[in-house]
């Protein structure tokens, strides 16, 4: 602070009509670190104030011809309000001293004759005070400017943060939409694979098993991720049969000879191997491997028993067993026969604890498939007549027999576009059947 003050240019103006006093003051203060200005009259002093800046202290005699010291200091206060003012006065001029303080804003007064040491110290103190005031003012201006810059910076920062937040939100929404598209594409890919498997002749088998298994898994309190794994595994549980001869697949395992049975039993491991490179399906692959394990340990490929068999695999095994029976049955009473067949295998091939949730959903699913809940009419329409909200009255297949959509599906814009795309690629020899 001292170095800053000492570097500031400060001038001290002495005003007195006696030249010898002015010279005495100059000699006394010649070694001080401020510049000395002298004037022999009030008029001359005012001119010097106009001509010089940084006048920090004005020392004026009271008794001067024409304009008194009080009057001069009063005018000087108007011209340089920041400068400190000191009155030189005699003992007899107390009233003038009071006026100098009241009207001229005098900082102090010094009586004549003065003590040189006291005079020098008073001048030094006054100059130091002026410098301190100026330095404080300079620092206050710097702080004010910096505060303003900080406010502006904060305002800009808030704006930048807001802009970045908006940008991040947009990116997050875009990422979420992208991830949702990936999930949708993944599910559609799994479904597409399951429909390719069904080209071997087991119409809707994978889809029905997947619906049963998913509902059973939910009823058993499995997490959403576990339910999805069970659903995916159920859709793909027969993927290992691809490449196996259709003649062999049409046989019941009980009718197969040793060589055929050995070949057939490989499909569970092949199914796991086929999807092992897809990280998202590895857990489903475990369920596919073990969906032919028997609760009593007599199954394949690893001969697992009881709860050593993954729960998802036990669920799929029960749903698969029921639907294989239901593929051969028709009529409103078919489900009762199918469930009796399941019941006969509880504790042997199948887990007894899964029978109750199976019954709940199987009766509903097969009743709808065999009889239908709604007795509505249907009409055949072309691609151009498809509209959002229409409900398919029949399963929709491509020209080569690939199941595209199930009966009862309500159409939206995405499904309509998919139907049009499939009809361009692999058109069937008929239109689309919808309810009316």
- pLDDT tens digits for 374-390? 445 778 888 888 999 88
Q: In the prediction, which pLDDT does 329 show?
A: 75
pTM over 0.95: no
Dist CA 329 CA 332 (whole Å): 10
Mention every residue, 6+ apart, whose C-beta is less than 8 A from residue 268: 240, 288, 289, 290, 291, 292, 300, 301
pLDDT lower than 50: segments of the chain: 1-6, 372-375
Dist CA 157 CA 377 (whole Å): 65
Q: What is the pLDDT of residues 394-409, one digit of tens each?
A: 888 887 777 788 888 8
Q: Would you call 259 exposed, middle or buried from its count of C-beta atoms within 10 A (0-12, 13-18, 19+)?
A: exposed
Q: In the prediction, which pLDDT does 261 show?
A: 82
Q: In the prediction, which pLDDT does 374 show?
A: 45
Q: In the prediction, which pLDDT does 375 show?
A: 46
Supply the Cα-derived Rg of the chain in whole angstroms: 51
Dist CA 231 CA 237 (whole Å): 10
Residue identified by tokens 């991830």 is: 179
Dist CA 253 CA 407 (whole Å): 31
Q: In the prediction, which pLDDT does 201 show?
A: 57
Q: What angle do CA 398, 403, 407 make, to 5 degrees?
A: 110
Helices 282-289 and 311-326, interaxial angle, to 10°? Answer: 60
| Encoded tokens for 278 | 């897809």
Q: In the prediction, which pLDDT does 251 show?
A: 78
Q: In the prediction, which pLDDT does 45 show?
A: 93
H/E segment holding residue 259 = helix 258-265
E-strand spans in 130-245? none
Quick one: DSSP state of residue 92?
T
Q: How far is CA 303 from CA 111, 240, 282, 291, in A?
A: 120, 18, 20, 11
End-to-end CA distance of the chain: 93
């Amino acid at each position: 602070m001292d170095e800053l003050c000492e570097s500031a240019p400060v001038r001290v103006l002495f005003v007195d009509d006696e030249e010898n006093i002015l010279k005495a003051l100059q000699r006394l203060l010649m070694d001080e670190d401020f510049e000395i200005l002298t004037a022999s009259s009030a008029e001359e002093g005012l001119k010097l104030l106009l001509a010089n800046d940084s006048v920090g202290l004005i020392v004026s005699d009271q008794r001067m011809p024409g304009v008194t010291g009080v009057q001069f200091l009063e005018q000087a206060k108007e011209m340089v309000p920041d400068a400190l003012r000191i009155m030189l006065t005699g003992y007899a001029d107390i009233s003038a001293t009071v006026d100098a303080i009241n009207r001229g804003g005098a900082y102090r007064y010094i009586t004549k004759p003065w003590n040189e040491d006291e005079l020098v110290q008073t001048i030094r103190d006054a100059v130091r005070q002026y410098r301190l005031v100026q330095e404080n003012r300079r620092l206050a201006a710097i702080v004010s400017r910096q505060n303003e810059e900080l406010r502006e910076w904060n305002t800009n920062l808030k704006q930048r943060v807001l802009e970045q937040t908006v940008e991040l939100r947009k990116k997050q929404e875009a990422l979420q939409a992208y991830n949702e598209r990936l999930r949708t594409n993944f599910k559609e890919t799994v479904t597409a694979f399951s429909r390719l498997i069904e080209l071997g002749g087991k119409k809707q088998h994978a889809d029905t098993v997947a619906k049963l298994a998913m509902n059973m898994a939910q009823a058993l309190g499995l997490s959403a991720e576990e339910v999805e794994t069970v659903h995916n595994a159920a859709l793909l549980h027969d993927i290992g049969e691809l490449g196996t001869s259709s003649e062999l697949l049409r046989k019941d395992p009980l009718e197969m000879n040793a060589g055929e049975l050995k070949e057939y039993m490989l499909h569970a491991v092949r199914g796991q191997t086929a999807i092992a490179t897809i990280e998202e399906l590895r857990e489903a692959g475990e369920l596919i491997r073990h969906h032919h394990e028997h609760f009593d340990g007599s199954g394949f490929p690893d001969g697992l028993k009881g709860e050593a068999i993954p729960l998802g695999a036990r669920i799929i095994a029960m749903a698969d067993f029921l639907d294989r029976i239901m593929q051969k049955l028709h009529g409103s009473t078919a489900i009762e026969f199918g469930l009796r067949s399941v019941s006969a295998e509880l504790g042997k091939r199948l887990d007894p604890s899964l029978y109750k949730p199976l019954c709940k959903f199987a009766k509903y699913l097969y009743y709808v498939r065999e009889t239908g809940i709604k007795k509505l009419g249907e009409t055949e329409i072309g691609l151009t007549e498809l509209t959002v909200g229409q409900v398919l009255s029949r399963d929709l297949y491509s020209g080569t027999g690939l199941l595209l959509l199930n009966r009862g599906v309500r159409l939206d814009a995405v499904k309509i576009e998919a139907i049009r795309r499939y009809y361009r690629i692999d058109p069937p020899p008929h239109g689309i059947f919808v309810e009316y």
